[in-house]
Amino acid sequence: MKTVFKKLAFWFCVGLISISSFAFVSGYFEVSKNLDIFTSLFREVNVYYVDETKPGEMIEKAIDSMLKSLDPYTTYIPESEIEDFRFQTTGQYGGIGATIRKRNDYVIISEPYRGFPADKAGLKAGDKLLEIDGKSVKGKSTQDVSSVLKGQPGVEVNLLIERPGTDKKIQKTFTREEVKVKSIPYMGMVEDGIAYVRLRSFTRNCSKEVKDAIIELKEENDVKGLVLDLRSNPGGLLNESVNLCNLFIDKGLEVVSTKGKIKDWEKSYKTKKEPLDKEMPLVVLINQSSASASEIVSGTMQDLDRGVIIGKKSFGKGLVQQTRKLSYNSQLKVTVAKYYTPSGRCIQALDYAHRNEDGSVGKVPDSLKTAFETKNGRPVYDGGGVDPDIVIDKEGYAEILGSLVSKQLIFDYATQFVLENDTIGAPGIYQIDDALYEDFVSFLSDKDYEYETSTEKELADLINHAEDEYAEFKDDLEVLQKKLLSYKEDDIHKYQSQISELILSELMTRYHYQEGSVVASLANDPVLNEAISVLNDLERYEGILSGSGSE
């Protein structure tokens, strides 16, 4: 403990000396003063507290609490989590190539990636991990298990698993590899002349992958228009968003600019190469989970009138992060600037600098939003994500789906289905028919998937208030409550279409991996259908971009 404390004290002193050296020169007296207070307090607590302390844990909690007061993107990354952070930025990590999830006391395989060690070794979704390299993992968290499974490529890993449908324990041995998760889970032709590329995230070299995908599709097909699907893409590397935009717009055009407290972050990011194709009609798909770099691309295509944006309003993350190296191989990911699309708008939705009295963060009100103009003079607005040119608002998911997913019942049904069926039909063709759906309903007959609808919650609150203020209405309200319960019992059939979508997605992932799941999801996709319609009607397409259309 003393050794740890000495190391921490040393680095605090180094930091204190460094800051003190420029404190008065640069106006950082408050930083120097409060760091001095903190180191003094930290020393006194660790020396005099009645029980033994854990300095490392105390510091990490203090850091996390401090950063939480800023924004959710400014985070401390200890050495133990560097591998996960590297995966977020590169899409690469050393491991077995599978996602995992918690189930009761154990961690189970959620999805093996095609062609990687877990898949090649025959691991399947639903397999329960009992031991890793001879050590029990019972009670371990997914983070604990992940940290053991990931590591140096070329190292052998031994797993003891239990597979659903059999009591026999199975030993699996394989070698870790450098796992590279594809940035593009699917590309293809969705109709004659209409190409489609889905981008999962903005990891390193993803713009080149998109370029190669478009070139390949063009070489094999007569491509007249492109759908770039950025739905649920959380973003990533800023330079990759610039490079992606460069595929469709001229060299030397500004894609995004950044402004921060430090002068060095007042930057303009422009395209540096000749475009791949600046004439091909383009539609970009976004939704409420499209964020950051996805919003740079969609916002830039909209500002420059280069493509039509279809879907739902994007997330609204207009903040730029940079990583700073710290001692002991740790890092700080810190928000250093806000970004602005070519029209001059910042699409940041939440104002973390001005919190409410209760500490919550409010969205920028409509009254404070500023209007900007695209290249062709169309109005666009800041302060809340990218507004699509054509809004397609799919039906919201019912509460029952949240219960089925959180209790992993669709996952469990798929596991049982795979045990009983060696194959299923091809993606885009195979559908969940009534017979299979009733089989799923039968599977749920002895399962608990209780949930409370928003209407039930409001009615329960009203009944509680009625006891004191509206006693004469209480009996009527309770009758209404019983009716609601009887209606809810039919939710499993009322929302058959939505539930079938999730079952189909899970089954496609089991038999045809992620590519199959994407293809299946596109079969009855109203947003994609609208994109195809726009690209097949050039007069409408050009009318939207010129501002003369009726959208």
Which amino acids are annotated catalytic?
Answer: 292, 303, 317
Residues 512 and 519: their CA atoms lie apart, in Å, by 10
* Main-chain dihedrals φ then ψ at residue 130, nearest 5 degrees: -95, -45
User: Can you give the C-alpha Rg of the chain in angstroms?
Assistant: 27
Question: Cβ distance 337 to 259 under 8 Å?
Answer: yes
Question: Cβ distance 500 to 521 under 8 Å?
Answer: no
The dihedral sign for the CA sequence 374, 377, 383, 386: negative
The SS3 of residue 339 is strand
Tokens of 303: 């500002």
* Main-chain dihedrals φ then ψ at residue 201, nearest 5 degrees: -160, 165
The SS3 of residue 292 is coil
Residues 341 and 300: their CA atoms lie apart, in Å, by 6
Q: Which residues contact 17 (CB under 8 A, 6 or more apart)?
A: none
CA-to-CA separations, 323 to 77, 320, 332, in angstroms, rounded:
9, 10, 5
Number of neighbours of residue 455 by Cβ within 10 angstroms: 14
The SS3 of residue 549 is coil
Q: Which residues contact 330 (CB under 8 A, 6 or more apart)?
A: 76, 77, 78, 79, 82
Residues 124 and 166: their CA atoms lie apart, in Å, by 13
Residues 551 and 545: their CA atoms lie apart, in Å, by 10
Tell me the residue length of the chain.
551
Give the distance between the most distant pair of CA atoms in the chain: 78
For 80-85, which contacts have Cβ atoms below 8 Å and span 24 or more sequence positions?
80/147, 82/329, 82/330, 82/331, 83/147, 83/150, 83/151, 84/146, 84/150, 85/323, 85/331, 85/333
Residues 65 and 74: their CA atoms lie apart, in Å, by 11
